[in-house]
Amino acid sequence: MKYLTCFFVVLMASCSNAGKSIKVKGSDTEVNLAVSLAENFYKVHQDFSVAISGGGSGLGIASLLNGQTDIANSSRPLNAEELSLLKVKGVPIRTIIFAEDATAFIVHRDFPLDVIDIATLTKILSGQFKSWKPLTGQDIPISIYGRQSNSGTHSFISKKLNIQFSRDAKEMNGNAQIVEGIKHDRSGIGYVGAGYILHNAREQPVKVLKIMVKTGSTAISPLDVKAIAAGLYYFQRPLYQFIPVASWNKVAAFIAFEKSPAGQKIITTAGYYLIPTKP
């Protein structure tokens, strides 16, 4: 049931009351977490139905603009164009930040390195490095497993590294496809949500690289809970939910469940992180 990230729907239809039928669309990074939350929400709110689908943050936000969702899950903030369109269409929204995610860079489990620095990662993902030779001494072509441009994770990595991705980068549909590709490709490197790895870590046949901001600095893993809580990992980010004000009363119970102790436990159990407390 887990990890079908391209298009995933959970429908709990015990009622036909449109006022308690919630549609959630968007981020593939968030879709498995949203499904877990919905499954448990339904146990205490059986008069609701919740339908969830992924497809990427861009799709969720487009659905928001078109009045086709009650919650748009997004792994990135709204950009200027989207904010302008919401204003033009007269769609006021409320923004919820409900969890923290860390993007993990993964390689084949037999890859000879455990750590990579930001400068080197930039050269790899932008296509400046075509071979692993500068890093491993092995003149093997690099295979990049990325996401489509409508992915919030694609946008997040591009902005953090200030790059355009290599034209040779493969555009995969979600975390599952990326992990599957890396599993069989000794020259591959890709990026996925750390929550996806943590949720089933013992069975993931890939290696998660630690990240150094600069050569010689402390290498930090996206699976290091304490480092994430301290905001030390370079590729960590908040996860958003954009909600039309018109849908707020309908989704309020679901949002309250997310923030409850039960919801917070589901977030951490699923491998995501609670919002770091600011000092």
The rounded mean pLDDT for the chain is: 89
Look up tokens 């939350």; give the residue: 37
Cross-strand bridge partners of residue 108: 206
Q: How far is CA 206 from CA 162, 167, 216, in A?
A: 26, 24, 25
Per-residue tokens: 32: 């498995």
The torsion angles phi and psi of 247, rounded to 5 degrees, stand at -100, 0
For the four alpha carbons of 243, 244, 250 and 253, in that order, the dihedral sign comes to positive
- The rounded distance, in Å, linking the Cα atoms of 236 and 224 is 11
Asked whether residue 11 carries a pLDDT value surpassing 90, the answer given is no
DSSP state of 141: B
Burial track 168-178 (b if 16+ CB lie within 10 A, e otherwise): ebbebbbbbbb
**What is the structure's pLDDT at 18?**
67
* Average pLDDT rounded to a whole number, residues 111-136: 96
In a 3-state reduction of DSSP, which class is residue 48?
coil
pLDDT tens digit sequence for 235-265:
999 999 999 999 999 999 999 999 999 999 9
Asked whether residue 115 carries a pLDDT value surpassing 60, the answer given is yes
Asked whether residue 5 carries a pLDDT value surpassing 50, the answer given is no
Q: How far is CA 158 from CA 10, 25, 269, in A?
A: 31, 23, 29
**What is the structure's pLDDT at 4?**
39
Of 81, 85, 96, 86, whose CA–CA distance to 30 is shortest?
96
Asked whether residue 13 carries a pLDDT value surpassing 90, the answer given is no
pLDDT tens digit sequence for 125-145:
999 999 999 999 999 999 999
* Average pLDDT rounded to a whole number, residues 223-227: 89
Cross-strand bridge partners of residue 192: 104
Cross-strand bridge partners of residue 55: 26
- The rounded distance, in Å, linking the Cα atoms of 148 and 87 is 26
Asked whether residue 20 carries a pLDDT value surpassing 60, the answer given is yes
Burial track 83-103 (b if 16+ CB lie within 10 A, e otherwise): eebbeeeebebeebebbbbbb
Residue ranges in the chain assigned as alpha helix (H): 28-44, 57-65, 80-89, 118-126, 133-136, 152-161, 175-183, 194-198, 225-229, 248-259, 261-269
**What is the structure's pLDDT at 130?**
96
Contact 158, 165 (CB under 8 A): yes
| DSSP H or E stretch at residue 212 | strand 210-212
Give 2's pLDDT tier (boundaries 50, 70, 90): very low
Q: Which of 91-100, 114-123, 147-156, 235-244 has the lowest mean pLDDT?
A: 147-156
pLDDT tens digit sequence for 196-220:
777 655 566 899 999 999 888 999 9
**What is the structure's pLDDT at 276?**
67
pLDDT tens digit sequence for 143-194:
999 988 878 889 999 999 999 999 999 999 888 899 999 999 999 999 998 8
**What is the structure's pLDDT at 268?**
86
**What is the structure's pLDDT at 203?**
64
CA angle, 175 as apex, 164 and 210 as ends, to 5°?
Answer: 70
Q: Which of 85-99, 199-213, 218-232 has the lowest mean pLDDT?
A: 199-213
**What is the structure's pLDDT at 269?**
84
Q: Which of 3-7, 68-72, 79-83, 87-91 has the lowest mean pLDDT?
A: 3-7
Q: Which of 101-115, 129-143, 264-278 has the lowest mean pLDDT?
A: 264-278
**What is the structure's pLDDT at 219?**
97
Asked whether residue 15 carries a pLDDT value surpassing 50, the answer given is no
